[in-house]
Structure 1
Amino acid sequence: MASQTSQRYLAGDYLSENPDWHEDDAPWKAGLIKGLLDQSALRPRSICEVGCGSGRVLELVQEAYPGSTGDGFDISPQAYQISNRRAGSGLSFHHGSPFGQPLTFDLAMAIDVIEHVEDPFAFARALAEIGEYQLFHIPLDMNALAVARGWPVMNARSQIGHLHYFNRDTAIALLRECELEIVAERYTPWAIDQSDKTWKKRLAAWPRRIAFQLSAHASARLLGGWSLLVLTRKASPSRS
């Protein structure tokens, strides 16, 4: 039986709250992903995305590495219907999970997913079983401003489905506790790069820009508006 938290993705509740499945953010996310992979001199030949949603991020990342293959997985039947329209040469979509199957990829991605799952530790370990490298994009919901205001955290839960709330330190700690080595990481400034959507967001972007230049970590902890992109691989005794 599906849990109450996963039921929102199976029954279409998530699609009702997010009718575009955040597809308009896909070019921004894909550009950041390619930047971190290129910085790490990593050119994956096989790419998997767990919780691929509309499939647009995976499509763009796969296109950035000619000759690569992409496989997207999502438990939502609505997401599968949307993403499968993109299927083509080297790009496939699947309704369900890749975990527990004899599948391996150069890169396994979870873009804005780990905060949605009931057990993020089990999820991160499972991702490491199917990918030589793992790539996580994690919203940093837990910041002083969000806690003081109260409603942003609850909105993230009710509208977007976040079950867990991270700052940079807790996100990195979780991955390391799953015996994953941090290969590369960077903040992603969604509150700045996406600030053109409303005048309030444009106004709020300026103090975040200034604060981030003064202290990136302090800005993320105090003001929020950031996510964390992290490339990992399984830790081994020779690298520890």
Structure 2
Amino acid sequence: MKEMYESDLYGEKNPTWHEEDSAWKAGHIERMIKRNKIPSDRICEVGCGTGEILLTLEKAFPTTSLSGYEISPEAFRRAAPKETPNTKFYLKDLLAESDLHFDVVLAIDVIEHVEDYISFIKKLKEFGTFKIFHIPLDLSAQSILRAWPIAELRRNVGHVQYFFKQTALATLEDCGYTIVDHCYTASRLELPNQAFSSRMMRLPRRLMFSLNADFAVRLLGGYSLLVLAK
């Protein structure tokens, strides 16, 4: 699947590179950092895409040094012209670098794209004191029963790993991380321009989530997991 990002294939299938979701993701990241009062003088994002998450975070943390690493030439071409004195982008594999250490490393919607995700997560550990992962919870009762949503994620956005909450957290712990904080994020409820089927499911998702969040996510899906780990 790495070839999907190093070629133009991902951009052809996803021409916006999901820039429209960046402010929403950055908002959740900002709240996670501030809620836990963790150091944030140096923030790095692995798989930064076109850089919009970091550029949004710069507004929240104006004295922070932000670095984005991306292996896609197309995404980097879109990010590079937007560099600022505080936010820099690199067409490099972060894990191939040496002598780099950040307060916070972001892996936002990344590990589900990585074939050897266990090695990736273990290697990432040395690059930051804290890590923030955003992990789509693709596995739910409805997605398994319908089957095609997972097949579409594989075909169109390159998901090759599929998680629910318990396996996501267990994976990080098995890789040597300590979970500091975690919460659900609700893209299907909070983001605009959702498919008709997602709009129809908003009320059931809200009602069930208010009664039993874990059960609602396992049954209906439509959520991701934001995890702060050390």
Q: 38-47 vs 194-203, which deviates more?
A: 194-203
CA contact (8 A) 1:58 1:70 kept: yes
* CA–CA separation in structure 2 for the residues paired with 1:143 and 1:152: 10
Which whole-Å CA distance do the structure 2 matches of 1:203 and 1:78 have between them? 35
C-alpha deviation, 1:174, in angstroms: 0.2
Unaligned runs of 5+ in 1: 234-240
1:204 partnered with 2:217:
no
Aligned equivalents of 2:58 and 2:126: distance in 1? Answer: 21
Q: 1:62 to 1:125 in 2, by over 3 A?
A: farther
Give runs of aligned pairs for residues 189-228 of structure 1, distance below 5 A: 189-228=186-225
Residue identity in the other structure for 1:150: A
Aligned to 1:104: 101
The structure 2 residue matched to 1:168, chosen from 165, 169, 190, is 165
Distance 1:141 1:14 in 2: 19
Match in the other structure for 2:24: 28
Q: TM-score, normalised by structure 2?
A: 0.97
Preserved contact between residue 140 and residue 164 of structure 2 (Cα < 8 Å): yes
One of 50, 53, 68 as aligned partner of 1:54: 50
**C-alpha displacement at 1:85, in angstroms?**
1.6
Aligned match of 2:113: 116
Contact in 2 for aligned 1:43/1:65 (Cα 8 Å):
no
Shift of 1:127: 1.5
Q: Tell me the alpha carbon deviations over residues 92-124 of structure 1, each in whole angstroms, 9 at most, x when there is no partner.
A: 000011213211100000000000011111111
- 1:196: Cα distance to partner? 4.7
Show CA shifts across 1:47-83 (max 9, x none).
1000000100011113211210111011100010011
Q: CA deviation at 1:197?
A: 3.4
Contact map agreement 1:107 1:133 (CA 8 A) in 2: yes
Write out the 4+ residue segments of structure 1 that deviate beyond 4 Å after TM superposition.
none
Task: Tell me whether 82-91 or 139-148 shows the greater mean CA deviation.
Answer: 82-91
How far apart, in 2, do the equivalents of 1:9 and 1:122 lie?
A: 19
SS of the aligned residue for 2:85 comes to coil
Aligned to 2:60: 64
Contact 2:188–2:194 (8 Å) recurs in 1:
no
Q: CA RMSD in A?
A: 1.1
> 8 Å contact 2:104–2:128 — kept in the other structure?
yes
Contact 1:195 1:201 in 2 (8 A): no
SS at the partner of 1:49? strand
Q: Could you tell me which residue of structure 1 aligns to residue 124 of structure 2?
A: 127
Aligned pairs, number: 229
Give the whole-Å Cα distance in 1 for the aligned partners of 2:65 and 2:99: 17
Q: What is the alpha-carbon distance in structure 1 between the residues aligned to residue 85 and residue 5 of structure 2?
A: 28
SS in 2 for 1:135: strand
Q: Aligned AA for 1:13? A: L
Find the aligned partners of 1:58 and 1:179 in 2 and give their Cα distance: 26
Q: Which residue of 2 aligns with 1:232?
A: 229
Distance in 2 of aligned mates of 1:190 and 1:154: 19
Q: Which residue of 2 aligns with 1:140?
A: 137
TM-score with structure 1 setting the length = 0.93
Q: In 2, are the aligned partners of 1:125 and 1:178 still within 8 Å (CA)?
A: yes
